[in-house]
């Protein structure tokens, strides 16, 4: 290989190494903040003295989801312990399948008949303009008339709580969040999330560990430490005046929740994370549903950075540390899959370059150290259960089972790097690909594994990327073994198992989808 080209590839390899290592430093900073955040919670704030009990609007946005699961959500909303005269519940149905909409309408009608005093409304849109963001705005517009009359034109005293279809709301949720809006600089309150099906299979266990740690170790810690954090799209509440001051929900990114969160905090408002208030939810139990969800989320992160990055770096409302930690959230932490894939692809040419200068053995030692560091650091795609609400259950499990789950979790996470990177690149390049709600099942009336034909092309593209990376990983193992590069094998060898693991499971689900729908392939 030409030495100049080899040197250039080695420099790129070093750049990817720096990208992988940077978040370890930021993670240490977050851990320090987490210890300080673990101090006893302050006494609850008193209710708003001017108006007594604030008016609460509970929005339940749904779209083509399992009617049984949606019914459980509606039932939990109707069971909320809060004065009926100060509570409005909206079921915001964006479904385009009449059978699903009819089932939801009938459930709402049944609840209203059983409790006529309950202000429960069903709203359906004919067009899904701006997707979930448009659905939430549609509900706010419909509620605006009587809300204005009841609050005498002051939206500061209206709280809007949002719960997606796969959530079950605890009875005391509204009581616990209301007091936190006493401070007028609080724009949103985010509850913690438990996962009902977190132990269903390897995939859900992996997601549960990842998301619980992401909530407690990233988002919550950032919020407690005064850094930018984010509303998670559900199981949280907003002050109506904050939403209106920011122009409502915007549909120009994949993740309207992060978009509005950044806009609010750039204007000087803050988001409060509650580590002691838990709301139950469900995880996608199938690989293809999880892929579509993660592709959309990763794409949305880059879209929000493109939209707010300049403001974050220049805002007079943020100090230097806040800007640095925000850059870590969007650019360092989020780009870890892209860094790792680049690192992997450039390893062989970098080895040959270092061999020419007599440093190839040092590369193996550095790779072994990096493998250990990444696995114990906060890079979330290869971490174990560092923290979480289920810590006692995890510790009580047999050691062999914990080791097995941890190994499987690493393989699943590594195998998802193709999906993560696909979404990141689409977001960086500005592709416009809006997502559908992630398929989850909670009531047994929606068959698992059946995906709309429009999703199959995107999944086929990701699977092709996985196939290429799996073939390269196998070649890498065969290349490294005779050279005795055990450090490189420790770092990159698991990819040779992770990519096939995810690819095989995804293809098995797609075959099941083809049999159930009679489809012959991607549309």
2 is catalytic: no
Per-residue pLDDT of the chain (523 residues), as tens digits, is: 577 888 899 999 999 999 888 887 787 777 776 666 554 444 454 554 445 688 899 999 999 999 999 999 999 999 999 989 889 999 999 998 899 999 999 999 999 999 999 999 999 998 888 999 999 999 999 988 767 666 555 666 789 999 999 999 999 999 899 989 988 899 999 999 999 998 888 888 888 878 887 787 788 888 888 889 999 999 999 999 999 999 999 999 989 999 999 999 999 999 999 988 999 999 998 999 899 999 999 999 999 999 999 999 999 889 998 999 999 889 888 888 999 999 999 999 999 899 888 888 889 899 998 888 777 665 454 444 444 434 443 444 455 666 776 777 788 888 999 999 999 998 988 887 666 666 666 544 344 445 566 677 788 889 999 999 999 999 999 999 999 999 999 999 999 999 999 999 999 888 766 555 554 443 3
pLDDT of the residue at 128: 83
Percent of the chain, pLDDT > 90? 50
Q: 153 is in which domain, residue-wise?
A: 55-285
Find the catalytic residue in 257, 259, 275, 405: 257
* CA 191 remoteness from chain centre: 14
Give buried/exposed letters for 236-272 (b at 16+ CB in 10 A, else e).
bbbbbbbbeebebbbbebbbbbbbbbbbbbbeebebb
* In-domain check, residue 298: no
Are both 380 and 482 inside the same structural domain? yes
pLDDT of the residue at 479: 95
Are both 23 and 108 inside the same structural domain? no
What's the whole-model pTM score? 0.88
Task: Sort 503 into a burial class: Cβ within 10 Å, 0-12 / 13-18 / 19+.
Answer: buried
Following DSSP, what letter does each residue of 121-143 receive, concatenated? EEEE-SS-TTHHHHHHHHHHHHH
Which CATH number belongs to the domain containing residue 224 in this structure? Answer: 3.90.550.10
**Number of CB atoms found within 10 A of residue 481's CB:** 12
pLDDT in tens, 345-356: 999 999 989 988
pLDDT of the residue at 357: 85
The three-class DSSP label of residue 407 is helix
218 is catalytic: no
* In-domain check, residue 320: no
Are both 64 and 20 inside the same structural domain? no
What are the backbone dihedrals phi and psi of residue 492, each rounded to the nearest 5 degrees, phi first?
A: -110, -15
- From 264, 285, 306, the end of a domain falls on 285
Distances (CA, A) of 82 to 42, 77, 78, 169, 281: 23, 10, 10, 13, 22
CA distance 311 to 308: 5
Encoding tokens for residue 82? 């809060």
Find the catalytic residue in 94, 164, 328, 405: 94
Are both 66 and 187 inside the same structural domain? yes
Are both 225 and 350 inside the same structural domain? no
- From 285, 306, 325, the end of a domain falls on 285
CA distance 31 to 15: 25
pLDDT of the residue at 63: 92
DSSP alpha helix (H) spans, 38-97: 67-78
Look at residues 279, 288, 283 and name the one whose alpha carbon lies nearest to residue 440.
Answer: 283
DSSP alpha helix (H) spans, 62-201: 67-78, 98-114, 131-151, 173-178
pLDDT of the residue at 441: 61
Look at residues 377, 147, 119 and name the one whose alpha carbon lies nearest to residue 243.
Answer: 147
CA distance 340 to 347: 10
Look at residues 247, 306, 514, 257 and name the one whose alpha carbon lies nearest to residue 430.
Answer: 306
* In-domain check, residue 167: yes
CA distance 331 to 23: 10
Are both 166 and 62 inside the same structural domain? yes
DSSP alpha helix (H) spans, 162-282: 173-178, 202-213, 220-224, 240-245, 256-266
Are both 363 and 266 inside the same structural domain? no
| Domains: count for the chain | 2
Are both 394 and 353 inside the same structural domain? yes
* In-domain check, residue 235: yes
* In-domain check, residue 322: no
CA distance 420 to 459: 12
- From 285, 308, 324, the end of a domain falls on 285
3-state helix, strand, coil in the chain (%, to 5): 60, 10, 30
Look at residues 232, 236, 275, 278 and name the one whose alpha carbon lies nearest to residue 255.
Answer: 232
* In-domain check, residue 443: no
Are both 254 and 372 inside the same structural domain? no
Asked if residues 26 and 331 have their Cβ atoms less than 8 Å apart, the reply is: no
Distances (CA, A) of 113 to 89, 109, 134, 258, 419: 15, 6, 29, 38, 46
Are both 194 and 125 inside the same structural domain? yes
**Number of CB atoms found within 10 A of residue 431's CB:** 11
Its sign, for the CA torsion 222, 409, 365, 465, is negative
Asked if residues 94 and 470 have their Cβ atoms less than 8 Å apart, the reply is: no
Are both 8 and 146 inside the same structural domain? no
Look at residues 371, 373, 402, 365 and name the one whose alpha carbon lies nearest to residue 385.
Answer: 402
* In-domain check, residue 305: no
Are both 14 and 79 inside the same structural domain? no
pLDDT of the residue at 24: 78
Look at residues 298, 255, 258, 257 and name the one whose alpha carbon lies nearest to residue 426.
Answer: 298
Residues in the chain: 523
* In-domain check, residue 38: no
Task: Give residue for tokens 């977050």.
Answer: 30
pLDDT of the residue at 26: 80
């Amino acid at each position: 290989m030409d030495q100049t080209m080899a040197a250039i590839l080695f420099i790129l390899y070093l750049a990817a190494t720096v990208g992988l290592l940077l978040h370890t430093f930021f993670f240490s900073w977050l851990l320090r903040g987490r210890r300080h955040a673990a101090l006893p919670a302050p006494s609850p704030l008193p209710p708003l003295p001017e108006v007594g009990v604030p008016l609460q609007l509970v929005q339940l946005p749904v779209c083509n989801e399992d009617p049984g699961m949606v019914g459980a959500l509606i039932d939990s909303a109707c069971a909320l312990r809060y004065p009926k005269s100060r509570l409005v519940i909206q079921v915001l149905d964006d479904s385009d399948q009449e059978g699903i909409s009819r089932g939801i309408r009938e459930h709402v009608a049944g609840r209203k008949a059983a409790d006529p005093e309950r202000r429960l409304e069903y709203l359906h849109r004919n067009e899904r303009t701006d997707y979930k963001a448009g659905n939430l705005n549609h509900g706010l517009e419909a509620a605006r008339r009587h809300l204005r009359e009841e609050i005498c034109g002051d939206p500061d005293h209206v709280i809007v709580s949002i719960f997606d279809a796969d959530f079950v709301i605890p009875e005391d949720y509204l009581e616990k969040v209301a007091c936190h809006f006493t401070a007028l600089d609080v724009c949103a309150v985010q509850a913690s999330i438990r996962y009902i099906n977190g132990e269903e299979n390897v995939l859900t266990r992996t997601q549960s560990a990842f998301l619980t740690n992401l909530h407690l170790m990233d988002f919550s810690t950032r919020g407690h430490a005064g850094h930018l954090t984010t509303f998670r799209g559900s199981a949280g509440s907003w002050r109506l005046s904050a939403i209106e001051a920011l122009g409502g929900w915007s549909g120009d990114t994949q993740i309207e929740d992060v978009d509005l969160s950044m806009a609010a905090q750039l204007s000087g408002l803050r988001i409060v994370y509650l580590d002691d208030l838990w709301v139950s939810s469900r995880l996608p139990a199938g690989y293809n549903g999880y892929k579509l969800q993660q592709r959309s989320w990763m794409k949305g992160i880059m879209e929000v950075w493109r939209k707010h990055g300049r403001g974050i770096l220049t805002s007079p409302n943020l100090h230097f540390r806040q800007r640095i930690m925000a850059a870590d959230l969007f650019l360092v932490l989020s780009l870890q899959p892209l860094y790792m894939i680049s690192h992997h692809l450039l390893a062989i040419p970098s080895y040959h370059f270092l061999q020419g200068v007599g440093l190839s053995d040092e590369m193996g030692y550095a790779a072994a150290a990096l493998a250990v560091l990444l696995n114990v650091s906060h890079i979330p795609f290869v971490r174990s259960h560092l923290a979480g609400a289920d810590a006692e259950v995890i510790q009580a499990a047999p050691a062999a089972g914990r080791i097995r789950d941890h190994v499987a979790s690493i393989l699943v996470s590594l195998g998802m790097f193709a999906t993560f990177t696909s979404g990141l690149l689409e977001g960086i390049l500005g592709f416009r690909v809006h997502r559908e709600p992630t398929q989850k099942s909670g009531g047994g009336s929606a068959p698992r594994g059946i995906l709309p034909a429009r999703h199959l092309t995107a999944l086929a593209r990701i699977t092709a990327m996985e196939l290429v990376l799996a073939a390269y990983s196998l070649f890498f193992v065969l290349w490294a073994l005779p050279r005795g590069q055990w450090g490189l094998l420790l770092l990159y060898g698991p990819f040779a198992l992770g990519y096939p693991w995810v690819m095989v499971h995804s293809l098995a689900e797609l075959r099941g989808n083809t049999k159930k729908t009679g489809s012959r392939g991607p549309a």
